[in-house]
Amino acid sequence: MINATQQEESQVDGILIDQWKAGDQRAATAIVERHAEALVRFAGRLGVTEDVDELVQDTFIRAFSAIESFRADSSLRTWLFTIERRLVIDRRRAQARRGHDVEIDDAQIASGFDALDRLVADEAAQRVAGAMARLTRMQRDVFTLRVQEGRSYKDIAGILGSTEGAARVHYHNAMRAVKEFLHE
Partner 1 sequence: MSECRSPELQDLLPDYAAETLDSVSTTRVRDHLARCIHCADDLGVLQAVRRARPRVSVPDIARIAAALPPSPTRVEAATPGPQLIRDAVAPQGLQRRSSLPPSVQRTRTRATGFGLSAWRLAAMLGVVLAGGASVLVARRGIIDGSGASVFGSPAPSSTMTAVAPRGACTLAVATPASAAQTVSVSYGDLGDYSAAELESMLERLDEWDGATNTEPLPGLPIVPNAGGGTP
Q: Using CB under 8 A, list all residues that contact partner 1.
A: 1-6, 20-25, 28-29, 32-33, 36-37, 40-41, 44, 52-53, 56-57, 60-61, 64-65, 116-117, 119-122, 124-126, 128-129, 132, 143, 146-148, 150, 153, 168, 175, 178-179, 182
Length of the chain in residues, anyone?
184
For the CB of residue 73, give the shortest distance to partner 1 in the complex, in Å. Answer: 19
Cβ of residue 5: shortest distance to partner 1, in angstroms?
4
* 3-state secondary structure (DSSP) of residue 1: coil
Please state, in angstroms and rounded to a whole number, the distance separating the CA atoms of residues 171 and 63: 28
1 or 97, CB closer to partner 1? Answer: 1
The contacts of residue 33 (CB under 8 Å, 6+ apart) are none
- Going by the DSSP 8-state scheme, the letter that residue 80 receives in this structure is H
* Residue 123 burial (C-beta neighbours within 10 Å; 0-12, 13-18, 19+): exposed
In the complex with partner 1, the residue whose CB is nearer, 104 or 131, is: 131
CB 126 → partner 1: shortest distance, Å?
A: 8
CB of 61 to partner 1, least distance (A): 6
Nearer to partner 1, 12 or 32 (CB): 32
By beta-carbon proximity to partner 1, the closer residue of 21 and 93 is: 21
Q: Is 167 exposed, middle or buried (0-12, 13-18, 19+ CB in 10 A)?
A: buried
